[in-house]
Amino acid sequence: MTPRGRPRSRYKEPNFRETFPLTERPSARVGQDDDESGDEIHPDSDASLLRRHRTKSYDDGEDEEEDETKSTVTNRSIIKRFLLFMSRSPLLGGSTSAQGTASYGALPELSPRASQQTSQSDACGDGTNKQKAKSRAIRPTASFASFGTRRRRESTSHSRTRFRRASMRASSPMLMAEPGHPAGLGGQVGGVLPLATSEDEEEVDEEAISTDEVDGNDPPDNSPYAQVRASVAATDDTSASINTPRMWILSLICALLGSATNLFFSLRYPSVAITPVIALVIVHPLGRLWDRLLKHSDDPTESFENGNLVRRAKLGRDSNPSTKTRLRLWLAQGAWNGKEHACVYISSNVSFGFAFATDVIVEQSKFYHQDPSIIYQLLLTISTQILGYSFAGLTRRYLVRPPSMIWPGTLMSTAMFTTMHSSENKSANGWIISRWKFFLIAWSGAFAWYFLPGLLMPALSYFNVITWFAPRNVVIANLFGVSSGLGLFPMTFDWAQIAYIGSPLLTPWWAAANVVGGLVIVMWILAPILYYRNALYSSFMPIISSAVFDDTAKPYDVSRILTPDYHFDHEAFTKYSKVYLPITYVLSYGVQFASLSALVTHTVCWHGSDIWQQSKKSLAEDRREGKSEYQPVEQGVKNQSSNGSQRSSRTNTSVEELDSSISMGGEDVHSRLMRNYEDAPISWYLAIFVAMLAIGIFVVEYYPVYLPWYGLLLALSITALLFIPVGIVMAITNQHSSLYLICQLICGVVFPGRPVANMVFVTYCYISSAQGIKFSSDLKLGHYMKIPPKLLFKVQTVATLISSITQIGVLNWMFNYIPNICTPDAINGFTCPIARVHFNGSILWGVVGPRRFFGEGALYRPLIWAFLIGFIAPILIWLVGRRSSPGSIWRKINLPVLFGSLSWIPPATGLNFSVWALVCFLFNSYLRRRAPAWWGKYTMTLSAALDSGLAFGVLVIFFCFLYPGWGWLRGLEWWGTRVYKEGCDWQACPYKTLGPGERFGDVK
């Protein structure tokens, strides 16, 4: 019984090695519908000969040579049809439709030597093309993108899976893993296994990134999204080593050093941060050096299954090795590869960011003069850092497994792993340079260039060139400034400014269009109108500022409204001043309010049905003891007409076509490959939630934080309610919707006058969500890299615990050994600037309280209408979009992104958004359409090179030039270091000024 749509073979296998060598050019295809195909056919190809054979009539008097040619063509057609049929046959007689595809299961790569030997043994007679013989070697599973344009778009009667089944030999060191029993015989590690890429099969067609039609009866052989196909291999090596001493030691070293360093510098101004991408770059040569120092050529053969060592041959020369040899062999397990590299990077990603709870401890210790114990510090930090795991693990079905949840931020990392662990190189729009060389050149250029805007000529970074001609003109500074202006002239030469809100190369253009649309409407149109009309007294303050002001247009001094024990002094507040906000600050609050309510209604309208179906499917699978069935990727939005009927067989929807109506259903090749690994039980994540909740309740009840236990439950309820909507937006658009402000407001309303309670509430609410989103992103990275979920769970948990303990130790060391820390008199700039900003926020929202901002008769009360606007607007857009044609602009409007992205302003300015959007358009719209092969090969690599080059440049400049305080550097003053500061843009001049003793607002 053959699968539907697949022709039966009526022929026995001929001895084709003795008959004719199979020659095929990339443009030649043979099948039953060649006559209808409109593709160009090479005149010397088999298809061309077959076409001539079908159309030409032969006379009885034809010579013997013509008869032989006719027979040859017929035999070739028979052979090709038989091989085509065999390539579609199930591997082991399974029942799932996925088994008929070339990417089902896992086809590990061979070592270079084995690949070469197999290639030579597959030569087909005399005259066989060498390149053809090479391509017949055992290879990783073919990539969908590599063959996309070779498929006939007119034919729908055959399966679209036309990939050639690789030859399998008993002598091969690695075998195809049986579905459900990966790498049953165990792979032999004989060298470094390079990570497979989509370029490892055949020469990449320059149109391969474009959308291709796929038969709806068969699942696609790669991700249906072009951005994923360009960065993630559609293959898996189940015999690769992962759970090795090398991986764990490097992971722990990165977690220790990265978390300690970032915590240390977070209390200093100016600060510097070590990002995980630095660990990604540095750890690769360390892993290779590890192998070179510890591995010997005569070491016994090792076998790995699912990343674990399962068998090692005995030493032939010594049946009783010494303790030193056994230790060396234990340390030298496996070979450094992309999966180990990914685990080390993930451990860095979850540990490098300094814990938000340490800011709470700093504020309690230095500003509120409390004395928190070490036990309290550890419990608060560990519980807030790890609670996010439970939310990430419990929502894997919605945020990790669906192919439509692409998580663009992870694609830069996967592109880096591909670049570092693959030596393959194919031409892309005429570019033949390898990804690794391209990365090194771009990285070196980014590193060297940053010395100009970062040290020698900062004017290239703050390129407010229009204000240079009229430095004292306030209006020009307001409109064209880049420090305190709207940035209407988007120009900068600093990648740090361009990527301030994230790398533009990772964000889909349609999402960036939403962001820039919000920028234009809210910040470039509405803000100037309100500002120059002096709405809410905004003309007396800078148009953009991170500070809040009193009625004398000076930054608000919160110390004047507090008692000596840091309680709110109402009488002092009445005598001093109300709190006033700059106009962009006001609008930022408004769009954040709208974003919060829009997040809920947008998710319910566009994804509510999918979430419900996924929930029912999950419950059904649990009743069947977790034995889930394969579900192919559901057909995309372009398959739906306005009434929901099918319109096309197109499923390979590119990232450019992602919009609000994408579906969560179905699986792709990566989901099928991950079925080879045992999933982490849901009970593990539930156990984490229960344990951390118990610790959190103990912390808030036993220690003097003045937050009742039901306040903690309220904080976690907010996180649980909004986690999936926030995760969907982040997974699709690479834009994070922050809950920081809404957490402060809710706690300020429910628990007024409790600043410490406000800080702890925000920590449990906001950090649990932010950490959970980070963990979900890492789970998706592990999904792309085919890391066993149970091992990934252990890596994330251990790294987080180590970093939490390390940061508490470093923090208390700094308290004891840095004089006057967190005061203006602190040595070397350790004034705790971030903690002081959070302290001021806790005073405003925890002490002054939201009611004095938005209560009855308050100046900013109209902002609460933004909640209603954000709630209704997505419903209206959904009603229009669901009736519009596929690809309509209404389907691409995403209000949570449009509103939520503007929460970066302030401190970001219009410059950061506008230049970011221009670069995104250049790469993810223009280049993606004009040079798709170049875009697919180099874009993610370029993003990684620019980000890591910038990070290293910042470190070198800080530690080598700024931190030592060289005398010659303090004397480095010239036009390029002064011109951008000489004007109202840098000085944040207001449009209106007050005279001596004058006030604005309610007091005249």
Question: What letter would DSSP give residue 579?
Answer: -
From the list 399, 404, 405, 362, the residue with the least C-alpha distance to 381 is: 362
Q: Is 182 left (phi over 0), alpha (psi -120 to 50) or beta?
A: beta
Is it the case that residue 464 has pLDDT exceeding 60? Answer: yes
Cβ count within 10 A of residue 162: 18
Q: Taking the model in full, what pTM does it have? A: 0.70
Cβ count within 10 A of residue 722: 19
Q: Which of 354-358, 566-570, 780-784, 813-817 has the lowest mean pLDDT?
A: 566-570
Which of residues 398 and 354 earns the better pLDDT score?
A: 398
Is it the case that residue 315 has pLDDT exceeding 80? Answer: no
- Range 962-996 burial, b when 16+ CB lie within 10 A, else e: beeeeeeeeeeeeeeeebbeebbbbebbbbeeeee
Q: Which of 619-628, 677-686, 699-708 has the lowest mean pLDDT?
A: 619-628
Q: Is 28 left (phi over 0), alpha (psi -120 to 50) or beta?
A: beta
- Strongest mean pLDDT among 179-183, 191-195, 656-660: 656-660
Q: Which of 116-130, 345-359, 784-798 has the lowest mean pLDDT?
A: 116-130
Based on its alpha-carbon atoms, the radius of gyration of the chain, rounded to whole angstroms, reads: 31
Say if residue 54 is exposed, middle or buried (CB neighbours under 10 Å; 0-12, 13-18, 19+). Answer: exposed
As a whole number of angstroms, the distance between CA 592 and CA 522 comes to 12
Say if residue 238 is exposed, middle or buried (CB neighbours under 10 Å; 0-12, 13-18, 19+). Answer: buried
**pLDDT score, position 546:** 80
**pLDDT score, position 760:** 94
The answer for residues whose C-beta is within 8 angstroms of residue 200's C-beta and 6 or more apart is 109, 139, 140, 143, 422, 424
Q: What angle do CA 735, 738, 742 make, to 5 degrees?
A: 150
Cis peptide before 112 (omega within 30 of 0): no
| Pair of tokens at residue 256 | 């220790």
The answer for residues whose C-beta is within 8 angstroms of residue 320's C-beta and 6 or more apart is none
Rounded to 5 degrees, φ, ψ at 274 are: -95, 115
% the chain with pLDDT above 70: 71
**pLDDT tens digit sequence for 385-417:** 999 999 999 999 889 988 888 998 898 889 889
In this prediction, residues 224-241 reach a mean pLDDT of 87
Which of residues 333 and 944 earns the better pLDDT score?
A: 333
Instruction: Tell me the pLDDT band of 716, cut-offs 50, 70 and 90.
Output: very high
**What are the Cα distances from residue 810, in Å, to 594, 636, 813?**
40, 51, 5
**What are the Cα distances from residue 624, in Å, to 97, 99, 181, 665?**
20, 22, 20, 19
Question: Greatest CA separation found in the chain?
Answer: 117
Instruction: Tell me the pLDDT band of 852, cut-offs 50, 70 and 90.
Output: confident
As a whole number of angstroms, the distance between CA 651 and CA 656 comes to 13
**pLDDT score, position 320:** 78
Cβ count within 10 A of residue 267: 27
Can you list the positions of beta strands (E) in 264-369? 302-305, 308-312
From the list 205, 200, 17, 211, the residue with the least C-alpha distance to 115 is: 200
From the centroid of its chain, how far is CA 669?
A: 19
**pLDDT tens digit sequence for 426-451:** 888 889 898 888 989 999 999 999 99
**What are the Cα distances from residue 9, in Å, to 22, 86, 463, 709?**
19, 9, 69, 70
Is it the case that residue 204 has pLDDT exceeding 50? Answer: no
As a whole number of angstroms, the distance between CA 734 and CA 924 comes to 14
Is it the case that residue 177 has pLDDT exceeding 70? Answer: no
Can you list the positions of beta strands (E) in 79-218? 187-188
Question: What letter would DSSP give residue 187?
Answer: E
The answer for residues whose C-beta is within 8 angstroms of residue 869's C-beta and 6 or more apart is 594
In this prediction, residues 680-692 reach a mean pLDDT of 95
As a whole number of angstroms, the distance between CA 140 and CA 383 comes to 43
Amino acid at the residue 629? E
Domain ranges, ordered by start, for the chain: 1-57+64-89, 104-145+162-188
**pLDDT score, position 626:** 47
As a whole number of angstroms, the distance between CA 991 and CA 774 comes to 41
Please say whether the beta carbons of 308 and 187 come within 8 A: no
As a whole number of angstroms, the distance between CA 836 and CA 634 comes to 50
As a whole number of angstroms, the distance between CA 919 and CA 937 comes to 18
Rounded to 5 degrees, φ, ψ at 436 are: -65, -45
- Assign 3-class secondary structure to 586-653: HHHHHHHHHHHHHHHHHHHHHHHHHHHHHHHHHHHHHHCCCCCCCCECCCCHHHECCCCCECCCCCCC
- Strongest mean pLDDT among 98-102, 850-854, 926-930: 926-930
**pLDDT score, position 44:** 47
Q: Which of 598-612, 701-715, 738-752, 780-794 has the lowest mean pLDDT?
A: 598-612
From the list 536, 521, 628, 544, the residue with the least C-alpha distance to 873 is: 521
Q: What angle do CA 231, 234, 236 make, to 5 degrees?
A: 115
The answer for residues whose C-beta is within 8 angstroms of residue 61's C-beta and 6 or more apart is none
Q: What angle do CA 238, 244, 246 make, to 5 degrees?
A: 125
% the chain with pLDDT above 90: 35
Q: Which of 68-82, 207-221, 324-338 has the lowest mean pLDDT?
A: 207-221
Residue with tokens 């996924």: 614
Q: Which 3 state secondary structure label does DSSP give 428? A: strand
Please say whether the beta carbons of 979 and 527 come within 8 A: no
Q: Which of 334-348, 639-653, 870-884 has the lowest mean pLDDT?
A: 639-653
**pLDDT score, position 614:** 72
Please say whether the beta carbons of 895 and 873 come within 8 A: yes
**pLDDT score, position 275:** 82
Can you list the positions of beta strands (E) in 492-602? none
Q: Which 3 state secondary structure label does DSSP give 981? A: helix
| Pair of tokens at residue 188 | 């032999």
As a whole number of angstroms, the distance between CA 355 and CA 345 comes to 18
- Sheet containing 308-312: order of strands: 187-188, 302-305, 308-312
Amino acid at the residue 454? G
Average pLDDT over the chain reads 76
As a whole number of angstroms, the distance between CA 988 and CA 973 comes to 22
852: enclosing H helix or E strand: helix 851-854
Q: Which of 72-76, 124-128, 207-211, 559-563 has the lowest mean pLDDT?
A: 207-211
Say if residue 662 is exposed, middle or buried (CB neighbours under 10 Å; 0-12, 13-18, 19+). Answer: buried
**pLDDT score, position 202:** 33
**pLDDT tens digit sequence for 505-515:** 888 898 899 99
